[in-house]
């Protein structure tokens, strides 16, 4: 059994304190592995289903810019907001671990579909640029963050697990749902992206 910076996790997924079968090995999960590859899996998937949407429009003669203002429901934010928000929660969520401040750029608003694709590409590049040792060195860091009107206290781990990831996935799946309800032929595997097997 090994204790890591972010706690004890069983390879079988068994919580700490539950009786283990003989030979079951416990491994630590680093802060980097909790955050960067997890965000990258879905950011890359989003890039993929945006590409699929663009191809679908080219095949059908539709205009991908019609997606930009599309909403799942009238009182929900439009597609362009979902893409901006998921990019911010991924790239600037991880950056917060090192800076101690959640300070993504201001929202731009409606923009061409191709610009939304480029925004996702920049988020992916930013995630790929984070250094494993630098992120792991932030494990256990206390964060006192002003996020909108709220002042919230986290550790590095609880910020990622209880704030950044839930917000990120909400906006990513909403973007997926907007494309799907507008006829883009994508499915669950497109959302899953490349699984971290092996």
Q: Is 71 contained in some domain?
A: yes
Number of separate domains in the chain: 1
Q: Is 119 contained in some domain?
A: yes
Let me know if 129 is exposed, middle or buried by CB neighbors in 10 A (0-12, 13-18, 19+): exposed
- Rounded to an integer, what distance in angstroms lies between the CA atom of residue 33 and that of residue 116? 27
Q: Is 39 contained in some domain?
A: yes
* Residue 149 token pair: 């009107």
Q: Which of 7-11, 16-20, 93-97 has the highest mean pLDDT?
A: 93-97
CB 117 within 8 A of CB 65: no
Cα torsion 161, 165, 166, 167: sign: positive
Residue 190 has pLDDT above 80, yes or no: yes
Q: Is 198 contained in some domain?
A: no
Which residue did the predictor score with more confidence, 25 or 127? 127
Q: What is the residue range of 63's domain?
A: 30-192
> How many other C-beta atoms can be found within 10 angstroms of the C-beta atom of residue 86?
26
The whole-model pTM stands at: 0.83
Mean pLDDT over 78-106 rounds to 93
């Amino acid at each position: 059994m090994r204790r890591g910076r972010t706690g004890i996790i069983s390879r079988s997924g068994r919580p700490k304190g539950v009786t283990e079968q003989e030979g079951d090995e416990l491994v630590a999960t680093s802060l980097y592995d909790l955050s960067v590859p997890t965000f990258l899996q879905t950011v890359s998937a989003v890039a993929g289903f945006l590409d699929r949407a663009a191809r679908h429009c080219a095949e059908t003669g539709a205009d991908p810019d019609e997606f930009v203002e599309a909403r799942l429901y009238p009182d929900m934010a439009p597609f362009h907001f979902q893409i901006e928000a998921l990019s911010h929660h991924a790239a600037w969520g991880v950056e917060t671990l090192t800076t101690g401040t959640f300070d993504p750029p201001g929202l731009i608003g409606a923009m061409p579909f191709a610009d939304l694709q480029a925004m996702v590409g920049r988020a992916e590049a930013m995630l790929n640029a984070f250094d494993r040792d630098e992120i792991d060195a932030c494990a256990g860091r206390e964060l006192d963050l002003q996020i909108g009107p709220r002042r919230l206290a986290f550790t590095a781990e609880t910020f990622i697990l209880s704030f950044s990831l839930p917000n990120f996935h909400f906006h990513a799946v909403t973007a997926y749902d907007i494309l799907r309800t507008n006829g883009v032929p994508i499915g669950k595997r497109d959302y899953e992206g490349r699984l971290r097997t092996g």
